[in-house]
Amino acid sequence: MTINELRVLYRSERLVEAIVEQADLDGQWVVEFRDNHGGMLALTDLQGEQRYYSDLDSASKSAMAVGFSQVRIESL
């Protein structure tokens, strides 16, 4: 889901957690969100491909752009 789509879910209180997760040992990061039913939603680009970030700060900023004031970090 795109940032704008995820913002709509956040504002309607359907997202409960933002998670920044290390995708691989090369330092790539992904952003996921847990919804209020326990499902996981990945942050994607406009083509529906999961977005990868080269650093933790950029990934965290994207997670917070959805509306969260804090994110959970998971590393390998």
Whole-number Å distance between alpha carbons of 55 and 15: 24
Give the pLDDT confidence score for residue 76 in this predicted structure. Answer: 81
Q: Which of 5-9, 15-19, 22-26, 36-40 has the lowest mean pLDDT?
A: 22-26
What's the pLDDT score for residue 25? 78
What DSSP state is assigned to residue 47? T
User: Judging by DSSP bridges, how do beta strands 40-42 and 29-35 pair with one another?
Assistant: antiparallel
| Prediction pTM value | 0.93
pLDDT tens string 34-66: 999 999 999 999 999 999 999 999 999 999 999
Average pLDDT taken over every residue of the chain: 96
3-state DSSP percent of the chain in helix, strand and coil, to 5 = 25, 30, 45
Give the span between the Cα atoms of 59 and 34, in whole angstroms.
16
